[in-house]
C-alpha cells in the first residue's frame, strides 16, 4: 500500500471514529444538563477534567512509540520494537503509580480548589474523582498497545476501541441518569469502562499485531528508556504547555466563577469536537513522515508541511464558520435556550481560538515526526504563559469569557512564535520558506472567509435563523466556490477527484 494511501486511510478511519463519537457527544450533554442541577453538572465536568490530568504523565511516550515502531517496522528491526514497547509499558506503569498519588491529593484538596462548590457535593465529588482518576491511572500504561497500531499504520482496531468506549460509557451514563443515580454511581460506571478498555487494548495487541511487535512484562532496557525519554522530554514540556493552554481553563473558572463552569463546558464541547476532527484528519502525518524521513529531503518535507497547512486551514474555516455564525441556534437545539444564552459567546470565542491555534498543527506534527520538537517548543511555552496569566487576570474582572479571550490572545502569540522562532530553528530538517508558508499555507485559505464578511451586516446573533435563507444560501455558495476554485490548486482538485473516483470504483466492485 502506498504511503499516500495509508495516510488517507488513517485519516478516513480517524474521521469515522470522531464522527461516531460525535453522535455520542450529541446525546449525552442534553441528558446531563436536564437530569442534573447546574451545580452538579459543573461538579461532573470538573471530575472529568481533573481525572484527565493523569494523561499528562504519559510524558510523550505513546507518541514516541508510534514514531519508533513505524521506523523499526520499516527497517525490519523486530527486536528493537520489542525492547521499546516493553520498556515504555514499564515506564508508564511507574508513571501510573505517581498518578494515583496525585489523584488522591486532588481529591483531598477539592474544598480548597473549588471553594464556591456547595458543601453537600464535596464528599461525592471526592469519591467520584478517586474512582475515575484511579481507573485512568490504571489504564495509562495499556495505551502502549494501542500506540503500536498507530506505528504500524493500522487504524481499524483503535477506531473500534474508541467507538466501543464512547458508546458504552455514554449508554451506561444515560441509563444511570434515567434511574436518578448519584455522581458516585456515574463515576463507578466510567471507571469500569476505563478498566475494560485497558484490557481490550492488551487483547487486541495479542491477537492482531503480536507477530510484528512483541512485548514482555517487567522488561526494562536502559538504551530504549533513554531513547524514549530523550524524545519524550520535549513532548512532555509541550504537553504541559498544552495543559495550561486548553486543559486548565475549566479549572480556573471552577475556582473563580464556579457557577459558570457548566456553561463554559457546554461551549467547550463543539469546540473540542472541531479539534478532534482536525487531529483525526491530520494525525496520520506523524507515522507517515517518520517512515519517509530517511528517504525524503528537507525541501520535500517542507513542501508537504505547507500543503498540509493549506488543507488544514481550509478544513478549519469550513468547520469554524458555521459554528461561529450558528452558535446560538446550535446550542439551543442541543441543550436548550437557557444554556445557549449563557454559552453562545464562549463558543464563538473558542472557535476563533481553535482556528488560530490549529493553523500550525501540520507543521508541529511534521516537527514531532522528525524528532526535532525541542526546537519548536518555545512557541508552546510562551503561548501557555500568556494564556494562563491573561485568563486568571481577566476571569476576575469580566467573568468566564475572560478565560476564552486569554486563550485567543495566547493562540495568536503561539502562532507568531512558530513563524518567528520555530521555523528558522528547524530549517535543517524541514526546509520551509516562511513567506511561502504564509501566502500559500494560511493566506490563500483565508480567502474563503470573504463571503462571511459580507454576511456580518445581516447576522442576528441570538436568532434561531441568523440571516434570511436567501442570504445564507448565497453565503454557502460563494464560500464553497472560493474554496474549490481559489484555495485549492489544480493539482489539489485533481487528487481529490481521483480519490473520490477510487472510492466509488472500489464500492462498485464490492457490489
**What DSSP letter does each residue of 350-375 carry, written as one string?**
HHHHHHHHHTTHHHHHHHHHTT-GGG
DSSP annotation of 36 reads S
**Comparison of pLDDT for 314 and 80, the residue scoring more:** 314
User: Alpha helix locations (H) across 326-336?
Assistant: 327-335
Least confident of 226-235, 321-330, 425-434: 226-235
Residue 312 lies in a domain: yes
Q: Identify the residue with better confidence: 135 or 498.
A: 135
Residue 384: what are its φ and ψ, rounded to 5°?
-65, -45
46 lies in the same domain as 124: yes
Query: Do residue 298 and residue 225 come from a single domain?
Result: no
In order, the DSSP letters of 150-209 are HHTT--HHHHHHHHHHHHHHHHHHHHHHHTT--HHHHHHHHHHHHHHHHHHHHHHHHHHT
Tell me the C-alpha distance between 115 and 94, whole Å.
32
Residues 273 and 407 in one domain: yes
Alpha-carbon distances, residue 454 vs 416, 462, 467, 476 (angstroms): 28, 18, 12, 12
Higher pLDDT, 197 or 429: 197
Task: Please indicate whether residue 505 or residue 482 has the higher confidence score (pLDDT).
Answer: 482
pLDDT at residue number 317: 92
Q: Are residues 269 and 213 in the same domain?
A: no
Kindly state whether residues 404 and 281 are assigned to the same domain.
Answer: yes
Which of 203, 230, 257 is the last residue in one of the domains? 230
pLDDT over 70, % of the chain: 89
Return the residue matching grid coordinates 502562532. Answer: 415
Segment 399-425, tens digit of pLDDT? 999 999 999 999 999 999 999 998 998
Residue 239 falls inside a structural domain: no
Q: Is residue 284 part of a domain?
A: yes
Instruction: Give the model's pLDDT for residue 509.
Output: 54
Number of domains in the chain: 2
How far is residue 66's CA from residue 68's CA, in Å, rounded to a whole number? 6
Q: Which of 230, 264, 282 is the last residue of a domain?
A: 230
SS3 418: helix
Final residue in a domain of this structure, among 199, 230, 261: 230
> Which residue carries 464490492 as its cell?
510
Q: What pLDDT score does 12 carry?
A: 55
Answer whether residue 235 is part of any domain.
Answer: no
Q: Are residues 132 and 49 in the same domain?
A: yes
My answer on whether 222 and 326 are in the same domain is: no
Indicate if the pLDDT at residue 143 is higher than 80.
yes
Place of cell 481499524: 156
Given this model, what pLDDT does residue 22 score? 64
Residue 157 pLDDT exceeds 90 = no
Q: Judge whether 328 lies within some domain.
A: yes
- pLDDT (0 to 100) of residue 108: 94
Same domain membership, residue 222 and residue 73: yes
What number is the average pLDDT over the span 8-27?
60
- Report pLDDT digits (tens) over 18-28: 666 666 667 78
255 with 206, same domain: the answer is no
> How much is the pLDDT for 2?
47
**Structural domain containing residue 470:** 248-511
Is position 195 within any domain? yes
Task: Specify the pLDDT at position 105.
Answer: 94
Q: Which pLDDT value is given to residue 294?
A: 60
187 C-beta neighbours (distance < 10 Å), count: 25
Which of 355, 360, 357, 387 lies closest to 373, judged by CA?
360
Look at 287-301, 303-317, 438-452 and tell me which has the smallest mean pLDDT.
287-301
Residue 288, pLDDT > 80, answer: no
Q: Based on the domain organization, do 196 and 303 belong to the same domain?
A: no
Element (H or E) spanning 275, and its range?
helix 261-282
Q: Could you tell me if 301 and 175 lie in one domain?
A: no
> pLDDT value at position 245?
75
Q: What is the pLDDT of residues 43-75, one digit of tens each?
A: 999 999 899 888 888 877 777 887 788 778 777
- Same-domain pairing of 346 and 220: no
Q: Is residue 477 part of a domain?
A: yes
| Spatial contact of 1 and 492, defined as CB atoms under 8 Å apart | no
Q: What is the DSSP code (8-state) at residue 214?
A: -
Average pLDDT over the chain, rounded to an integer: 85
Q: Is residue 242 one of the residues assigned to a domain?
A: no
Amino acid at each position: 500500500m502506498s504511503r499516500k494511501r495509508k495516510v488517507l486511510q488513517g485519516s478516513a478511519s480517524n474521521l469515522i471514529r470522531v464522527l461516531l463519537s460525535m453522535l455520542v457527544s450529541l446525546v449525552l450533554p442534553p441528558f446531563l444538563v436536564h437530569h442534573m442541577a447546574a451545580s452538579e453538572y459543573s461538579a461532573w465536568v470538573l471530575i472529568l477534567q481533573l481525572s484527565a490530568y493523569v494523561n499528562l504523565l504519559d510524558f510523550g511516550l505513546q507518541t514516541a512509540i508510534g514514531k519508533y515502531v513505524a521506523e523499526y517496522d520499516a527497517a525490519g528491526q523486530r527486536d528493537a520494537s520489542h525492547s521499546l514497547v516493553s520498556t515504555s509499558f514499564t515506564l508508564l506503569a511507574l508513571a501510573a503509580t505517581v498518578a494515583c498519588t496525585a489523584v488522591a491529593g486532588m481529591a483531598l484538596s477539592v474544598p480548597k480548589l473549588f471553594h464556591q462548590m456547595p458543601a453537600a457535593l464535596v464528599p461525592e465529588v471526592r469519591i467520584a474523582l478517586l474512582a475515575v482518576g484511579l481507573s485512568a491511572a490504571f489504564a495509562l500504561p495499556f495505551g502502549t498497545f494501542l500506540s503500536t497500531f498507530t506505528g504500524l499504520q493500522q487504524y481499524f482496531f483503535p477506531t473500534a476501541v474508541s467507538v466501543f468506549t464512547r458508546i458504552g460509557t455514554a449508554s451506561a451514563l444515560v441509563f444511570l441518569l434515567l434511574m436518578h443515580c448519584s455522581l458516585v454511581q456515574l463515576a463507578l460506571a466510567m471507571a469500569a469502562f476505563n478498566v475494560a478498555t485497558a484490557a481490550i487494548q492488551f487483547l487486541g495487541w495479542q491477537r492482531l499485531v503480536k507477530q510484528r511487535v512483541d512485548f514482555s512484562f517487567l522488561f526494562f532496557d536502559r538504551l530504549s528508556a533513554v531513547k524514549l525519554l530523550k524524545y519524550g522530554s520535549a513532548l512532555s514540556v509541550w504537553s504541559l504547555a498544552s495543559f495550561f493552554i486548553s486543559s486548565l481553563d475549566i479549572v480556573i473558572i471552577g475556582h473563580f466563577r464556579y457557577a459558570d463552569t457548566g456553561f463554559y463546558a457546554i461551549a467547550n464541547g463543539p469546540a473540542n469536537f472541531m479539534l478532534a476532527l482536525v487531529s483525526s484528519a491530520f494525525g496520520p502525518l506523524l507515522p507517515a513522515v517518520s517512515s519517509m524521513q530517511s528517504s525524503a529531503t528537507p525541501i520535500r518535507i517542507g513542501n508537504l508541511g505547507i500543503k498540509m497547512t493549506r488543507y488544514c486551514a481550509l478544513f478549519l474555516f469550513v468547520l469554524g464558520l458555521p459554528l461561529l455564525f450558528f452558535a446560538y441556534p446550535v446550542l439551543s437545539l442541543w441543550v436548550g435556550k437557557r444554556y445557549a444564552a449563557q454559552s453562545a459567546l464562549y463558543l464563538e470565542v473558542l472557535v476563533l481560538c481553535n482556528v488560530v491555534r490549529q493553523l500550525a498543527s501540520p507543521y508541529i506534527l511534521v516537527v514531532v515526526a522528525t524528532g526535532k520538537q525541542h526546537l519548536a517548543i518555545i512557541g508552546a511555552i510562551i503561548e501557555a504563559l500568556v494564556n494562563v496569566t491573561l485568563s486568571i487576570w481577566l476571569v476576575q474582572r469580566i467573568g468566564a469569557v475572560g478565560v476564552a479571550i486569554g486563550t485567543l490572545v495566547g493562540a495568536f502569540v503561539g502562532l507568531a512564535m512558530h513563524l518567528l522562532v520555530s521555523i528558522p530553528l528547524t530549517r535543517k530538517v524541514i526546509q520551509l520558506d516562511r513567506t511561502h508558508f504564509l501566502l500559500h499555507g494560511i493566506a490563500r485559505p483565508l480567502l474563503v472567509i470573504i463571503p462571511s464578511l459580507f454576511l456580518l451586516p445581516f447576522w442576528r446573533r441570538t436568532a434561531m435563523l441568523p440571516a434570511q435563507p436567501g442570504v445564507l444560501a448565497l453565503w454557502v455558495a460563494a464560500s464553497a466556490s472560493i474554496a474549490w476554485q481559489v484555495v485549492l490548486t489544480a493539482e489539489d482538485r485533481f487528487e481529490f477527484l481521483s480519490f473520490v473516483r477510487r472510492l466509488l470504483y472500489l464500492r462498485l466492485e464490492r457490489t
